[in-house]
Amino acid sequence: MNFTLNQLRIFVAVVDKKSITKASEELHMTQPAVSIQISNLQSQFDIPLIEVIARKVYVTEFGMELYKLAVTTLEHVNSIHYKTHSFRGLLSGKLRVSVVSTGKYIMPYYLKDFLKENPKIDLMIDVTNKSKVIESLEKNEVDFCLVSVLPKHIDLEEEILLPNKLVLTASAETDIKVKSRLHKSVFSDLPLIFREEGSGTRETMQKYFEKAGIIPKVKLELTSSEAVKQAVIAGLGYSILPVLSLKNELKLKSIKIIPVQGLPLKSNWRLIWLRQKKFSTVAQSYLDFIRKQKPDIYKNYFSWTEAY
């Protein structure tokens, strides 16, 4: 047999994504190039690894066994690289982070200087909704998660990073008249744009409405904060959004904040991890960095939110 590490990497990506197209995007390769490498790997075996039916990838039983071995092999290869860097006095390894979708406005600022100081660290970051973030935490697939709403059923440790404020937003072109803070009953009439089920922002909104005894008028449900913002800008409805996600829109005056009783809703952005988590050297170094640098990061990048 004469398969290569590159072929194993490509095979693992195809199995993980269950798609040659998605794997090619992740690997920054063309789809034909991925298909050729998979074909070259398959030629080493007389038992099928995968089956493609109606453009969907199905992994055979033998393919799953090879996948497990390939993952282990690639981890050992990476360990060789990390050990080499370690003997040179360089911090290296993988840092795995899962971030709720709104957290994409936050996490890069809490990563960039650490990664700049430690260029041999490989970052694996997944930006998704809260449900999937918590799932990856429960499975111990990540070192840290960034959330604004804590799960109650997991034994956790946390590090609070910065405040989270949610406000009612509208298109800058809306003709709603605001002379003073509106009564919360206004939500009974406003067409609202919600995030999808599993979103932390949606969960916070729902708790507010339940406590206020309000049945909101939901006009749209969208799957990302960016989609919600664009719908608000277009005048399709109103939504409660985190202030820190609105920096550019407020600067460009494409969105305006409407003051309402009980708003802004306040919580905190937290870095969380399993209480029994055994940190790698990289993960512990990152946590030490965060604890030391978070006041400066907040001051440099997020103190503007205090105006709202």
Question: Phi and psi (nearest 5°) for 113?
Answer: -70, -35
Q: Which residue has the tokens 């406000």?
A: 167
pLDDT attached to residue 242: 94
Q: Identical fold at 5-86 and 90-162+268-307?
A: no
Other residues' Cβ atoms within 10 Å of the Cβ of residue 304: 12
pLDDT attached to residue 90: 56
pTM given for the model: 0.71
pLDDT attached to residue 216: 87
pLDDT attached to residue 259: 92
pLDDT attached to residue 57: 87
CATH number for domain 5-86, candidates 1.10.10.10, 2.40.128.20, 1.10.357.10, 3.40.630.30? 1.10.10.10
pLDDT attached to residue 82: 58
CATH number for domain 90-162+268-307, candidates 3.30.365.10, 3.50.50.60, 3.20.20.70, 3.40.190.10? 3.40.190.10
What torsion, rounded to 10 degrees, do the Cα atoms 23, 24, 28, 30 define?
170
**Regions of the chain where pLDDT drops below 70:** 79-91
- Give the tens place of pLDDT for each residue, 129-185: 888 899 999 999 999 999 998 888 899 999 999 999 999 999 999 887 777 788 888
Short-list 223, 269, 299, CA closest to 107: 269
Extents of the domains making up the chain = 5-86, 90-162+268-307, 164-267
The residues near 303 (Cβ < 8 Å, ≥ 6 apart) are none
Distance CA 27, CA 34 (A): 9
pLDDT attached to residue 306: 94
The residues near 188 (Cβ < 8 Å, ≥ 6 apart) are 214, 215, 216, 217
pLDDT attached to residue 183: 86
Other residues' Cβ atoms within 10 Å of the Cβ of residue 213: 8
Alpha helices in the chain (DSSP H): 5-17, 20-27, 31-42, 61-87, 112-117, 130-138, 200-212, 225-233, 247-252, 281-301
pLDDT attached to residue 288: 94
pLDDT attached to residue 256: 93
Question: With respect to CATH, is domain 164-267 assigned 3.40.710.10?
Answer: no
